Chains A and B, each alone.
Chain A
Amino acid sequence: MTEPIHRALGLTDDEAVSIEAILDREPNHLELAMFAVMWSEHCSYKSSRLHLRRLPTEAPWVLVGPGENAGVVDVGDGIAAAIRIESHNHPSAIEPYQGAATGVGGILRDIFTMGARPIALMDPLRFGPLDDPRSRWIAEGVVSGISGYGNAVGVPTVGGEIVFDATYKGNPLVNVLCLGVLPTDRLVLGQASGVGNLAVLLGSSTGRDGIGGVSVLASAGFSDDESESAKRPSVQVGDPFEEKRLIEACLQLLDEHLVVGIQDLGGAGITCATSETASRGGVGMDVDVTAIPTREPGMEPFEIMTSESQERMLAIVEPVGLDRVLAICERWEVRASVIGVVTDGDRLRIRDGFEGEVLADVPASSLHDAAPLYDRPRQAPGPSSAPGPDSVAAPADAGADLVAMLTDTSWVSSQYDHQLFLNTVVGPGGDATVLRLKHPGTGHDTGRALAITVDGNHRWCAVDPRRGTALTVAESVLNLACVGARPLAVVNCLNFGNPENPEVMWQLSEAIDGMADACRAFGVPVIGGNVSLYNESAGVSIDPTPVVGLLGLVDDLTAVPPGARLTEGHRILLLGPDTSNLAGSRWAADRGARGGSLDPLGYEVHTAVADLTRALVIGGLASGVHDVSVGGLGVALAEMAVSSGVGFSVARIADHRALFAEGPSRVIVVVAPDMLATVVAMAEHASVAVTRLGLATGDRLVIKGLVDVGLADATTQWRDRLPLAFGSGSTH
């Protein structure tokens, strides 16, 4: 007996029953295909919506919160910033170059859909171990895809993360964040209105690529290699030149106030764009499937309606403006076709010709508002059997362990144009990226800057998803403080395993609570996000990996922030509490100890450390600043040394635990000798613990009683780690 068609499309039996109830009849094949893509996990968030409601989303500066194509905040001077983060994990696992490239293309469309010009991309990337050839192949392809698409489309990639860990061996994480700016008065939303208005499809023709990408590919896990290759046709192919012209054409349409609403075509293609715009606008829409330009003859209506061909937008325009719209598109060599008309009522009807046979007839809102909502079972794991960090013996050579954790990521970032638009004050490799804030209409330099950071830590979240996620938000806040910025808004990308596993659902729920707690404590709203589930291979889910994107503002940018710099003869201070808890640390995890209990986050202490750090940076009192994160105090100090070409001599680090512990709320600050008293007094006034670690000096990394490594050796290992792994040889 063959499988029922709804199951082949990814719908459950219960969901098929619901669809029949909504339509009050049996759905035809086309309708079923449309429901299947819209009710997929990827499009409907059916497993996570219930929990996401617990996140704080409001603040006076929020113009658009979650649920639209991007979150938007008011950043002053008549400028709004639009920001969004997404995952393209499964496509990138199968077809690394195109998976990553089309991830970039998709997020750009989400941003210019809001009327914003995309000005920056960030890419948090996670792959299997560097010594695994397949993981290197995926990593190299993903980086090339981001480079190939992002550079050519003309949007700089200004930062990100790259993590190699066994948990991602079968399922890499390729997240992408995009930031755009717009004159506040140009904000547009993805909705249709005005009966008789026209739906105009802009951009690429529609092909057979990416059919069912959201349902077949993004909403199920990987089992073995055979099924991966079978899913390859579900990956789309990107064309950055088409997208570049589409961006320019759409921004000109918006500048000239020619569109009532506009929506990108991403997951679920035309089905999603037409049903969402109609549903948000409280109207119906008739779509002529024969008016949609196709790449090849003989495409079935269900293929056209669910194709995820890239570089397409749907604009709702008034009939009177159509000629001008077509003229602008012609100038930019962008294809434009009227494919639908806004109607009274609430039905989305797909027709064979404008007056032709009705091929599908569904309530527009049923495709997304009526999508199922699951409260999937959650189950906390039993008492952890994972060994705690105290099970690991003290290192024979702490210096060697330390240097082995140093990785220069410029092998990645030098493949990305990170300077276009002349905004990049601090680019990839800094604690946070800093971009000059210029008015997108006039070009006027406000003298202020936007700052962004992306952070995730699966090791912390594997130990304790709630506390680990809160610590991740805290790290982002501190990263912004290190460049003198205050936080404005969070977007998140929640990368988790199979939600049908109750422990994974528990992790997701806990992580959301941790994020909600931290965001409330820091007064930062969550204005958008993406949930990526089914990140698993061979039945094993990845470690929970919530990734936080935090946008902030530098209120007065007068100098380049000091960065992770050591200056010969300057004093090295540690701000914040002591810790020697190795739970969740990279050092312990790499040695198989993934258990234990994380340090709690003290919100008052953390805020005091962040405020003080920000004040030191803005006041020009610090010559160097770097937060303590993965690898602990040891790695933070060593990173400062190798990136400045200056060694250090420090004491007061008791043992390897204190050296590698990753407890929160700590920043290394470097000050000139004549500033020392002032800075210490400021710390005491702010009730921030301050430890005088030692001196920046010489050509060795010396931590009394623990580490004594030559700077040259550490620098070589740091610089060559990625080039050697990827076979590009030493860079020097």
Chain B
Amino acid sequence: MSPRVGVVLFPGSNCEQDVVEAIESLGGEAGVIWHGATELGDVDAIVLPGGFAYGDYLRPGAIARFSPVMGPVADFARAGGPVIGICNGFQVLTEAGLLPGALQKNAGLKFLCRSVTVRVESTRSALTNQAEVGQKLTIPINHFEGNYTCDERTIAELRDDDRILFTYVDNPNGSTSSIAGICNAARNVVGLMPHPERACHPLLGGTDGAIVLRSLLAAAGARSGI
């Protein structure tokens, strides 16, 4: 049996099918969960995909955090289930308080869609357990609000607890400490701005994203005892 990944669909999400396709291409099972759902069903991991949930009205993630599904997602996270936020999903996780900090507008005040190189800083997480520290991965970014920021105490905590998972080699958006991805204290909730699902096929410019999503499948499989 393959690990089962639930991909949450908010109105305005747009990367949900891409994540499903990438997960399935790596041998996982994936299905879409409607944002109005009050239970997650039988899943081993949750992905909040990229897009513009609720049109990014007010702020990215500010309205999506109130969707009914976010209650069960928080419960699942508290119980140790892997919860991954990609791009807009990362923004939703910070708004929901499941990850610290916030994502503000890119320093260049322009939307950026291009490949970047990120360095793996820690392999102790639901999204990096199949990578190596210092490994450089080429994965596309696609965001206007990807400039990670937090207070000094939080950044110290993230550093001290080895919770910075990815940093940009050439910081494209002004993120504090070049942060591209972090995890929570329990290491099961992860947010990252790059889109690993966009780098899982040789015809689409590389397969480094598969290393990241295989880590998710491994974490999901470990949880379900596969």
Contacts and interface: CB of A to CB of B under 8 A. Distances in A.
Interface of A: 147-148, 151-152, 154, 239-242, 244-245, 332-333, 410, 413-422, 424-425, 436, 443, 557, 559-560, 728
23 contacts: A147-B111, A151-B113, A152-B12, A152-B55, A154-B52, A240-B55, A241-B52, A244-B11, A244-B12, A244-B52, A414-B110, A414-B114, A417-B142, A419-B195, A419-B204, A421-B17, A422-B204, A436-B203, A436-B204, A443-B17, A443-B21, A559-B203, A560-B205
A239 B17 CA distance: 23
A415 B203 contact: no
Interface size class of B (residues with CB under 8 A): 20 to 34
A728 B11 contact: no
A239 B55 contact: yes
Given A244-B11, A414-B111, A560-B203, 14 more contacts: A148-B111, A241-B54, A241-B55, A241-B56, A244-B55, A245-B11, A245-B12, A333-B11, A414-B114, A417-B142, A418-B113, A420-B15, A436-B204, A443-B17
Interface string B173-214: 000000000000000000000010110011111000000000
B7 to A, nearest CB: 14
B108 interface: yes
Contacts of B61: none
Given A152-B55, A240-B55, A419 B113 contact: yes
B23 to A, nearest CB: 12
A-B interface, 9 closest residue pairs, ranked by CB to CB distance from nearest: A241-B55, A154-B14, A152-B52, A415-B111, A414-B114, A147-B111, A422-B18, A425-B203, A417-B113
B57 interface: yes
A255 to B, nearest CB: 14
A559 B201 CA distance: 11
Most buried by A among B56, B108, B110, B112: B110
Contacts of B146: none
A422 to B, nearest CB: 5
B114 A410 contact: yes
Nearest to B21: A422
Contacts of A559: 203
B158 to A, nearest CB: 28
Given A414-B112, A728-B110, A420 B203 contact: no
A151 B203 contact: no
Nearest to B20: A443
A154 B51 contact: yes
A518 B108 CA distance: 45
A36 B108 CA distance: 45
A333 B198 CA distance: 29
B112 to A, nearest CB: 6
Interface string B136-164: 00001010100000000000000000000
A415 B15 CA distance: 17
Most B CB within 10 A of own CB, among A425, A557, A559:
A425
A241 B204 contact: no
Nearest to A414: B114
A154 B57 CA distance: 15
Nearest to A419: B198
B108 A728 contact: yes
A267 B112 CA distance: 32
A420 B52 contact: no
Nearest to B16: A154
Contacts of B22: 422
A195 to B, nearest CB: 36
Contacts of B110: 414-415, 728
A408 to B, nearest CB: 12
Contacts of B205: 560
Nearest to B55: A241
Contacts of B54: 241
Given A415-B110, A415-B111, A422 B14 contact: no
B52 A240 contact: yes
Contacts of A421: 17-18
A66 B22 CA distance: 37
A422 B197 contact: yes
B198 A416 contact: no
Nearest to B18: A422
A184 to B, nearest CB: 21
Interface in B1-56: 11-12, 14-15, 17-18, 21-22, 51-52, 54-56
Contacts of A420: 14-15, 18, 142
Given A241-B11, A421-B18, A151 B111 contact: yes
A565 to B, nearest CB: 14
B147 to A, nearest CB: 16
Interface in B50-93: 51-52, 54-57
B181 to A, nearest CB: 19
Contacts of A244: 11-12, 14, 52, 55
Contacts of A147: 111
A98 B56 CA distance: 18
Nearest to A731: B108
Contacts of B142: 151, 417, 419-420
A240 B113 CA distance: 18
A257 to B, nearest CB: 22
B220 to A, nearest CB: 21
Contacts of A148: 111
B211 to A, nearest CB: 17
Nearest to A140: B110
B112 A415 contact: yes
